[in-house]
A = this chain, B = another copy of it.
Amino acid sequence: MAEIIWGLATSHVPSIGAAMDNAKTHDEYWSPLFEGYQPARDWMAQHTPDVVLVIYNDHANAIDLDLMPTFAIGTASHFPVADEGWGPRPVPPVLGHPELATHIVESLVDDEFDITVANQLQVDHGLTVPLSVYTPEPGDSWPCPVIPVLVNVLQYPQPTAKRCYALGQAIGRAIASYPENIKVAIFGTGGMSHQLSGERAGLINESFDHMFLDKIQTDPEELTRITREEYIREAGSEGIELIMWLVMRGAMNPVITRIAETYHVPASNTAAALALFENSENPS
């Protein structure tokens, strides 16, 4: 039986990746963020999974304007790194886990989730930046295979927070029913508060962010009652990415342990956070 061992919530702004790619992590601007990452990185290096699921959104790269899925799962054996308009990030190729991904898709569709199957997929910064947050120096290859789980946050109507949490719960059931004894980590990415365009560009809402960082562990159900409109109003037009953290949270046990946390403003135009949770034993 496969098992989720930990969950990582992290922002995925491209500039966090660029800071690493261009060796700027010790700059005055970036060092507070990367120093904040260190305790989580140290702990994760001691608790290595066999495969990671990355919940993220594509940013106008692999998903076409023509056909926009609410939820998609990548079932390929490898995922080329996308050229987002300035050449692909200089990171290792991303390898998939077709067997587990196929099992998850089949399980979710049986469970009444209307999954789009990404049989082929290029991955953008939404996926590769979280991998870099986890493994800053991967060398020639990432430490394990990756299953991309895509959520539409770009085009209204995004899935509701409630539906994202339910998807996570169903992913948790799917992983628990996978017959191989493997360890899985799950990443919820995006956020925190940020808005790129319009007169509210540059919006940061620290109190909403801290509330969310707290409740994602202790009371995710309350976060599922926040409407799309409220997410956009409070966290900004791009802050709605936070619903993807709820997918991660739903896949984990009711009780989880906070291993590390950091919050920093600004990383580019966003409030950036990291929160790492160990999946506690379920009292059964």
B66 x A118 contact (CB < 8 A): yes
Chain B residues with CB under 8 Å of A106's CB are 156-157
A70 vs B69: C-alpha distance when bound (angstroms): 9
Contact bitstring A211-248, B, C-beta under 8 A = 1, else 0: 00000000000000000000000000000000000000
A110 CB-CB contact with B under 8 Å: yes
Report the minimal beta-carbon distance from A85 to chain B, rounded to whole angstroms.
Answer: 20
B163 x A121 contact (CB < 8 A): no
Contacting residues of chain A (81-103) with chain B, CB-CB under 8 angstroms? none
A69 x B116 contact (CB < 8 A): yes
A105 vs B116: C-alpha distance when bound (angstroms): 16
Q: How large is the interface on A (under 10, 10 to 19, 20 to 34, 35 or more residues)?
A: 20 to 34
A71 x B157 contact (CB < 8 A): no
A113 CB-CB contact with B under 8 Å: yes
B67 x A118 contact (CB < 8 A): yes
Taking A65-B119, A67-B118, A118-B67 as contacts, is the C-beta distance between A163 and B112 under 8 angstroms?
yes
A177 CB-CB contact with B under 8 Å: no
A112 vs B162: C-alpha distance when bound (angstroms): 9
A32 CB-CB contact with B under 8 Å: no
